[in-house]
Amino acid sequence: MADQVVLLDFWPSPFGMRLRIALAEKGVQYEYKDEDLRNKSPLLLQSNPVHKKIPVLIHNGKAVSESLIAVQYIDEVWKDKAPLLPSDPHLRAHARFWADYVDKKMYEIGRKVWTTKGEEQDAAKKEFLECISVLEGELGDKPYFGGKTFGFVDVALIPFSSWLSVYEKFGNFSVEAEHPKFIAWVKRCLEKESVSKSIPDQQKVYDFVLEMRKKLGIE
């Protein structure tokens, strides 16, 4: 019996983009359901009753929540193509550490950049660029975070590139000016069809956030 795969997602979510990229890397066909987060579907609430959040991967009727857990699940189930995590236990732990670093830093700091002003925003910008600097240091001269091939940390981080225009325009700074090596990695990842077709255009995300700011009364 063919696998039945459904992805519950919301198009601008960098967390959902991770699953889209991982499934594309593996060549897995799936049904995409875009959620209205203000009016969550019964399927989402039933599939993720604890957090009630996207993304949720539903594989043959069984739900997997939390993006990094779901990406690891995808890597384990469809293990014959494009491995995302290395086979060596230490290298695997190393990749999980950096994916966890991305999880703990990028979204929250990035959100502060576009939702705050004045000193609070200045502090967020400084912290954001420091975070990029740390990641750039880990990347080093490697083409991808895991080495020669696109892998787990790249999948965890590259979705945030679709939000770069948001961070830069509202924060009034340029990532490329300060961290060209990081942007070179972004461009390298975007050459992959699994990435370019799985993440939205930066302008589309910027327009979405512009509307969000109006709704939140941040102008």
pLDDT tens per residue across span 53-89:
999 999 999 999 999 999 999 999 999 999 999 999 9
CATH architecture of the domain formed by 89-216: Up-down Bundle (1.20)
Residues 6 or more apart in contact with residue 55 via CB below 8 angstroms: 7, 8, 9, 10, 13, 15, 16, 18, 19, 65, 67, 70
Distance of CA 52 to the CA centre of its chain: 18
pLDDT digits 0-9 by tens, 16-38 = 999 999 999 999 999 999 999 99
Residue 193's pLDDT is what? 98
| CATH number for the domain whose boundaries are 5-77 | 3.40.30.10
pTM value?
A: 0.96
Q: In this model, does residue 10 exceed pLDDT 80?
A: yes
Number of Cβ within a 10 Å radius of residue 187: 10
Q: Dump pLDDT digits (tens) for 183-214.
A: 999 999 999 999 999 999 999 999 999 998 88
* Residue 219 and residue 213 in contact, taking contact as beta carbons nearer than 8 Å: yes
What percent of the chain lies above the pLDDT cut of 70?
A: 99
Task: With cut-offs at 50, 70 and 90, classify the pLDDT of residue 1.
Answer: low
pLDDT digits (tens, 9 = 90+) for 123-135: 999 999 999 999 9
Instruction: Provide mean pLDDT across the span 114-139.
Output: 96
Say if residue 162's pLDDT is above 60: yes
pLDDT for the residue 218: 78
Helix axes 89-115, 14-26, angle to 10 degrees: 140
* Torsion sign, CA atoms 118, 123, 126, 127: negative
Region 168-185: mean pLDDT is: 96
Which residues are 32's β-sheet partners?
Answer: 7
Domain ranges in the chain are 5-77, 89-216
Q: Which single residue is written with the structure tokens 């200045």?
A: 122
- Mean local confidence (pLDDT), 126-145: 97
- The owner of tokens 């787990």 is 152
| Stretch 150-160: mean pLDDT | 98
Amino acid at 30: Y
Residue 214: its pLDDT value, please? 87
Percent of the chain with pLDDT over 90: 95
Statement: residue 112 has pLDDT above 90: yes
